[in-house]
Chain A
Amino acid sequence: MRYSNTVFIAFLLSFLLIGIVYQHSQYRIEEIQPVIDVRLKITRKIGLPDLAITTAARYLRHYSLGDINTPFQDYPASLDHFPAGFAYSVPNFENIPVIFRLHPRSSN
């Protein structure tokens, strides 16, 4: 068999495997849909966000309800010492409403 035939067969096999992997992912997504509906129901009743992946610290467990300073609040100059903190970036609190009150400077 020519080497070019081997190459084409290898490419076809690669595309076939990618196709199988894609089909598997679609099948799993369909299979998991009833589970997502149950999860939605439970989340609606309990209302707590975030996944229970790590329970080492409260700011990692309920990540979206914590603060930017919470990992460092244990004592002055504290560093984030939980290994799971490495996996998460800083929570995004840019658009939380904060009212700034400007007071006119008194002229003395």
Chain B
Amino acid sequence: MEKLKVNWLDKKLNVIDFAFQSLLRHKTKNGLIFLIFLVIISIISSIFFITGSLTKELMSTSKSLPDITIQKIQGGRQVVIEDSYLSSIEKMPGVESVEPRLWGYFYFNELKANFTIYGMDLNTLEADEYTKIDQQQVQSPNPDYDMIVGTGVYRLLKEVFMEQNFIFNQSNWEQEIACRIIGTFKAETQLQTNDLMIMQVEGARKVLEIPESTYTDFAVYIPNPEEVQNIAIKINRLYPELRTVTKKNIETTYRSVFNWRSGFVLSGLLISILAFLVIIWDKASGLGNEEKKEIGILKAIGWDTDMVLSVKLYEGFFISSFACFGGIISAYIFVYIFKAPGLKHIFIGWSSVYPDFDLIPFFDFNYLLLIFILTVIPYCTAILFPAWKVAITDPDVAMRNIN
């Protein structure tokens, strides 16, 4: 009798057909496993996307930061720094300039909002960096009290009809300070400027109640990046009460702020991994009676063990890989199209002023390949072992389901 010749490709396609039909025979069970897998991978991918994007946002502007930020520490807390330190630091070889900075926070009780106040010469800001507000009809009491605010601040102040003039007042002040709002920062920069109120230095000093000849910190600029660490050590040696935070320290903090030690990342990953392990354990602990019977019948009609295992492998591969693709795509849409509703509130916390979560997309194929390998391979492996155990059993025993 002539042996039926079937080429390799047809053989494989027939096995794939059978595997897919086998999946459809147990639609509900396989559908549920697919959905659970999809949700787990969605959660893991959303965590990677959101933390990757926030790190990318942080790193995108880090090169413009001062080379060294000098703070004065007293009793383990930051206090104002006297300008007497300025001259000796400026004279250090390698230092291009030292800028004393005046900034702090103002808590607006009526709106339960914290604003960041920053004192600088407003004339140094260029026309394309903010949007001017027509204030011709409002008299400015003093140009020192003109302000440019972030979009979040402006939106909040409109609610209390203070979008033209904002009045700073504390209960211990003899007189309130009225500031005219002359512009807002552009919406595209809201991740950096959303809560900012920028005014002239003297106005900021009055609002923040910082005494004369003192500042919040100093920003040091050093043209040669190789010298930054040495100069920081020199400053620390000369003035042990000062803390020097270099740009490199800040970048290291940025890279590690959303690492595994962050509660959000750790809890999200742990929950997902535990749920995944439960599914794997369920699969690895053994096949159901119907599946054993099915394998027994296939062996009885002449299927090889490796063909039976191919069917099981294809079943596992289809469920896990489609769930993986679906999870990654749905996570991307959730984070970057819908702007992570619900999830972003974990980062926002109790803030009254917060920006839109319009993030730079973070799509790293290395991460996605890692997710694919860590989900598909363990799942396929977990399916193969119990199938192999049944496949090497006598078909009669398997069909009758004798333990």
Contact = CB atoms under 8 A, between A and B. Distances in A.
Most buried by A among B17, B192, B236: B192
A89 interface: yes
B257 A91 contact: yes
B338 interface: no
Interface string A60-77: 111111010110010000
A6 to B, nearest CB: 7
A78 interface: no
A64 B155 CA distance: 27
B21 A48 contact: no
Contacts of B243: 96
Interface residues of A, number: 69
A54 B347 contact: yes
A84 B347 contact: yes
Given A4-B20, A46-B120, A48-B116, A18 B189 contact: no
A91 B351 contact: no
B89 to A, nearest CB: 14
A51 B76 CA distance: 24
Interface in B345-372: 346-355, 360-363
Contact of B329 (A18, A42, A65): A18
A102 interface: no
B16 A46 contact: no
Most buried by B among A6, A25, A85: A25
B318 A7 contact: yes
B332 A39 contact: no
Interface in A18-33: 18, 21-22, 24-26, 28-29, 32
B347 A87 contact: yes
A52 B190 contact: yes
Interface in B306-356: 318, 321-322, 325-326, 328-329, 332, 336, 346-355
Interface of A: 2-4, 6-7, 10-11, 14, 17-18, 21-22, 24-26, 28-29, 32, 35-36, 38-58, 60-65, 67, 69-70, 73, 82-99
22 contacts: A4-B13, A7-B318, A18-B325, A24-B361, A36-B61, A36-B360, A38-B129, A49-B62, A49-B250, A50-B58, A52-B150, A52-B152, A52-B192, A52-B194, A53-B191, A64-B245, A65-B245, A70-B77, A87-B349, A89-B257, A97-B229, A98-B236
